[in-house]
Structure 1
Amino acid sequence: MAPQKNEKNQLFLGLFIHSIKLGELQYLHDTAVCVDKSGKIVAVEQLFDQKKAEETLYPKLGWKTEDVDVTIAEDGQFFFPGFIDTHIHAPQYPNSGIFGKSTLLDWLNAYTFPMEASLSSLPKARRVYTRCIQRTLSHGTTTAAYYATIHVPSTNLLADLCLSLGQRAFVGRVCMDNLGPDYYLDESASHSLVATRATINHIRSIDASFDLISPILTPRFAPACSVEAMTQLGALHQETNLPIQTHISENVDELKLVKDMFPDSKNYTDVYDRFGLLGKRTILAHAIHLSEEEADLVAQRGSKVSHCPCSNSSLTSGVARVRWLLDKGVGVGLGTDVSGGYSPSILDAARQAALVSNHLAMPPRAGDKRPDAERLPEDDRGRVRLSVEEVLHLATRGGAEVVGLGEKIGGFEVGKEWDVQLIGLGFVPDEDDSTEVKQIEDTGNVDIFGWERWEERIAKWVFNGDDRNVKKVWVRGRLVHERR
């Protein structure tokens, strides 16, 4: 099995919007983007007249008219880079929205471990994983960093399904030999390593160069792994240079657990650093309660952070200080953290990131001892707020950097691969008072009246949009979702 190739070159016409840097969106009106059969952008022509395509553009590219598929964005539609989910647990998808009154560690035992363990049944795993991939694609997620389970066959199935359904993915077999219920643990550190290698080899057999599907080393979080397992995973990273994903500083009780289990380490971040698991290819989910020293070390090592605002709120874990991390030079992307987070939508994560940042900007109550309250001088409170443009950057180009694909995806530059969504916004009909009132069409919650500037339309999409606005999704030039 190998990633599918496109049969034709493709021409896309209309409005293209993408982030060119943190806080700045570029609007390319009346533009043509040409994508070759490999799924790569080979030309971007602004102020383009479609009539001239056959006369000038196709000959320049060596294309023939009959060998080109054309997609035109309609009025109110625009092309936008695919979203990148930098942290999601595929086997937890059935539990989305279920966290009861639990905090992190209780929630793992009550909901998470039983669900993950049950996916040793491949028919059940196929049912869950297929819907998870379909659902995330429908929300415009073209790349996902997935945690699977400890089971090799189930994890391999997730990789197979991502490939067949066309989603770009990092698929990690979860390593946990130390902390968890007896029914859901790796037998030993050595068994954990053997099982991890088995999944790596399987993914290599279906996508030899990891063009679309890549393995990712996945120690669940430090307390879940023995010293032996962490040592062996660090050595495996040195051997393979595969990316790493794990959790860090999500919950206050978790910090106490780490301190008790790793007394020789200075802090949580130092645990990963000691075992060679803190590097340029490391994705750290949450990072809510990092100290100044830890954040500086993360920046020094070039590791990245997956910000999961929905999960952080749902499990009352805390408020991550994204601006603080960015100011320190730490790359940040967005994660849904399904099912700690209740929504599989990165657009929803973007709006949550904006709202959570507003909470940091609010003055603390008297006696508030939160770390974020203590560290924010009054003059800096406004700076912590994240704008629409900034959260969309985290959702696309920022996320691409976090997963190590900054050169391949996240924007509309020549040379990048066509991982893109076509977004459509609903126009409210212009009717006089005598016109019979019509049923509202199912075009989503974004109502456009026509007088809004495009910057305002994008803001309305961020705060009101959902999967109904996602009309088509492509990954590497292949159409992988179409709303009908």
Structure 2
Amino acid sequence: MDAVQHVFKGTFIHSTTRCDLEIIENHMLGTDRVGKILFFEDAQIQSRLSQKWGFDESNIQALGNNEFFMPGMIDTHIHAPQYTFIGIGMERPLLEWLEHTTFPTEDTFCDVELARNMYNTVVRRTLRNGTTTACYFATIHTDASIVLADTASQYGQRAFIGKVCMDHNDTYKKYRETTKESIKETKRFFEVLESKKYDRVKPIITPRFAISCSERLLNKLGKLAEKHDLHIQSHISESPAEIKEVRRLFPDYNNYTEVYDRNKLLTNKTVMAHGCYLTNEELCVFRERGAAISHCPNSNISLCSGHLDVRNALNHRVKMGLGTDVAGGYSISLLDAIRKAIETSKIIFMERSKSERDNNETQNKQQENMKPDEVNEDTQNGPMKTENNHNVLSYKEAFWLATLGGSEALGIDHITGNFKVGKEFDALIINPEAKDSPFEVNSHVSKEEMLQRFLYLGDDRNIKSVYVAGICVVPFPSNT
């Protein structure tokens, strides 16, 4: 029988495949020496659990009355080097923002020491904000990208690291590679990462997006991912201007999705950021390939790119998680992504409701002008109902997207995402009564209401501890 390393007692809140939110009070959870969950049982049988698993009851780590555990949050799309200019240049649309702010800054990461300092800051900041897993874009610089992988591993963060690939850049010509160089350096990158045998850091094939990649580069990257069974990340259908440029550059393809799909870059290990303008036909391809979407609502709004209809994508059974998309998104916290996802859903609902009201008013006016014999059964039964009824995203669903949904999107739901026995213990201890907490707690508030307040009002001050694979990584050890 596996030896028990840690035993925790208190309230646990997570999502399962059966429900978006499950609140489990007065339970005990035990982990082994490698951080896997051995048992998750009612605390009423504490003595029996102690005898069965051989742990000393005096070593149980019990939470405070209003504290609770939740799974670590999963950022499915974040640009680590862009933290350099987070909150700057947000007045420009996407393509202008890339040209004037992003590419010039990322180009400076040829300086490995600059990269080391910034990546140290980024990993610490994301962990403090409860991001136990991050899917990072780095830059085109291989050595600096390796530094990001080293940094994530040093701090114990679970991460996918992508050395960016781009052999086409007319807007800022300094920042690009040749096709041959991009493939060669990508191979070197994942070979170095594989040789380091990190516990929880993996490489991910990263064509920046179709605009910055030749068809030849996309094709070679797809074959590389297929040969080595690697994860893939990129961007898709983020803004109308971007889609227009993709049509110009790839006239032989029917749509944006097909550009990736025909080049073997749309697989069950693919996560594509944004997807604001994906058609239902494209969403069906995503579902068939098992590819996922990273919903980045802050960035979509901040760069005036568009809105992703999450409900429609979920109805198409497309895997989905949340992304901060720093620095297109101006917050590094997934709590912000949760809030913006809910707000975006409400905006879509209001816009659709207004459109339906306008259509109904037009129909009513037309009916008023009809002669009696021109009114048919359909018009007599009242305004026509639209087929695309929209339900607002609930806070429970947004919580699921930030945790279990994100793990499914990255293909690691067998490892993390909730507190199922056999998974690794990635968790946050939330303290609603932390010093200087941004919200107050009343004694009569239930755990569900406590969670809602944290999701809507909380911040890193409420995150007391962060665990990755059973190891407490926040607070940071004094030597880091």
Describe how 1:259-338 pairs up with structure 2 within 5 A: 259-338=247-326
Does structure 1 conserve the Cα–Cα contact (< 8 Å) formed by 2:321 and 2:409? Answer: yes
User: Amino acid of the residue matched to residue 86 of structure 2?
Assistant: S
User: Amino acid of the residue matched to residue 60 of structure 2?
Assistant: V
Give the 3 Å change call, closer, same or farther, for CA 483–103 of structure 1 in structure 2. Answer: same
Paired with 2:127 and 2:35, the residues of 1 have a C-alpha distance of 17
**How far did 1:456 drift?**
1.7
Paired with 2:416 and 2:357, the residues of 1 have a C-alpha distance of 42
Q: Please name the residue that 2:189 is paired with.
A: 199
Does structure 1 conserve the Cα–Cα contact (< 8 Å) formed by 2:153 and 2:199? Answer: no
Q: Please name the residue that 2:145 is paired with.
A: 155
Deviations 1:236-294 (A, max 9, x none): 01101100000000010000100000000000000001101111111010000111211
Q: Please name the residue that 1:184 is paired with.
A: 175
Scaled by the length of structure 1, what TM-score is found? 0.89
Q: Please name the residue that 2:29 is paired with.
A: 33
Q: Please name the residue that 1:372 is paired with.
A: none
Paired with 1:138 and 1:348, the residues of 2 have a C-alpha distance of 14
User: Amino acid of the residue matched to residue 70 of structure 2?
Assistant: F
Paired with 1:168 and 1:473, the residues of 2 have a C-alpha distance of 12
User: Amino acid of the residue matched to residue 350 of structure 1?
Assistant: I
Give the 3 Å change call, closer, same or farther, for CA 377–142 of structure 1 in structure 2. Answer: farther
Q: Which sections of structure 2, spanning at least 5 residues, go unmatched?
A: 359-383
Give the 3 Å change call, closer, same or farther, for CA 15–366 of structure 1 in structure 2. Answer: closer
User: Amino acid of the residue matched to residue 79 of structure 2?
Assistant: H
Q: Which sections of structure 1, spanning at least 5 residues, go unmatched?
A: 1-6, 370-375, 427-440
Q: Please name the residue that 1:373 is paired with.
A: none
Q: Please name the residue that 2:373 is paired with.
A: none
1:122 to 81, 103, 112: 112
**How far did 1:57 drift?**
2.4
Q: Please name the residue that 1:412 is paired with.
A: 419
Q: Please name the residue that 1:464 is paired with.
A: 457
Give the 3 Å change call, closer, same or farther, for CA 234–368 of structure 1 in structure 2. Answer: farther
Q: Quote the RMSD (CA, aligned, Å).
A: 2.2
Does structure 2 conserve the Cα–Cα contact (< 8 Å) formed by 1:140 and 1:470? Answer: yes
2:336 to 348, 361, 385: 348
Paired with 1:398 and 1:211, the residues of 2 have a C-alpha distance of 22
1:90 equivalent in alignment to 2:80? yes
Does structure 2 conserve the Cα–Cα contact (< 8 Å) formed by 1:248 and 1:287? Answer: yes
| Secondary structure of 1:362's aligned partner | helix
Does structure 1 conserve the Cα–Cα contact (< 8 Å) formed by 2:66 and 2:447? Answer: no
In the alignment of these two chains, the number of paired residues is: 448
Paired with 2:10 and 2:90, the residues of 1 have a C-alpha distance of 46
1:390 to 394, 397, 400: 397
Q: Percent identity?
A: 40
Paired with 1:465 and 1:300, the residues of 2 have a C-alpha distance of 38
**How far did 1:298 drift?**
1.1
User: Amino acid of the residue matched to residue 23 of structure 2?
Assistant: Y
Does structure 1 conserve the Cα–Cα contact (< 8 Å) formed by 2:142 and 2:185? Answer: yes
| Secondary structure of 2:337's aligned partner | helix
Scaled by the length of structure 2, what TM-score is found? 0.89
Deviations 1:25-82 (A, max 9, x none): 11111111000001000011113365x2xxx324422x4539x953221111000000
Give the 3 Å change call, closer, same or farther, for CA 87–149 of structure 1 in structure 2. Answer: same
Paired with 1:413 and 1:406, the residues of 2 have a C-alpha distance of 10
Give the 3 Å change call, closer, same or farther, for CA 368–290 of structure 1 in structure 2. Answer: farther
User: Amino acid of the residue matched to residue 356 of structure 1?
Assistant: T
Q: Please name the residue that 1:131 is paired with.
A: 121
Q: Please name the residue that 2:442 is paired with.
A: 449
